[in-house]
Amino acid sequence: ESGVVYENIRRLSEGKSLTPAYNGYTSCPLTVGDDLLVLAEFGYDGAILETFPVDQAKPMKLNYWLKKEIMPPLYWHGLIRGKWRGPGFVRKLLRLGITA
């Protein structure tokens, strides 16, 4: 959301039309064990928007590590400041441009 707000304010200040829109991307890290996590990612319409090319419904230690080590800096230093626009680019890169 903050990336869309940032981009729209930038475009408004440049006299451009407001085009970026938020797709409702939501990430729900669900801890299911001492070091296991299910990473549920979806949009407003309930469409699954998994970032990684693996079954994220399966509890994984990697997901737990991402939640513990990677997500806090992304949130505080990226998302809140409007610099992290969500995992769309990472998703596209990991899937080699293939969309589900």
Residue 99 pLDDT grade (very low, low, confident, very high; cuts 50, 70, 90) = low
DSSP character at residue 48: B
User: Do the Cβ atoms of 59 and 38 come closer than 8 Å?
Assistant: yes
The pTM of the whole model exceeds 0.75: no
Question: What's the chain's average pLDDT?
Answer: 86
Question: Which residue is associated with the tokens 């407001």?
Answer: 18
| Overall residue count recorded for the chain in this entry | 100
Distance of CA 2 to the CA centre of its chain: 12
Residue 98 pLDDT grade (very low, low, confident, very high; cuts 50, 70, 90) = low
CB contact set of 2 (below 8 Å; sequence gap of 6+): 79, 80, 81, 82
DSSP character at residue 43: -
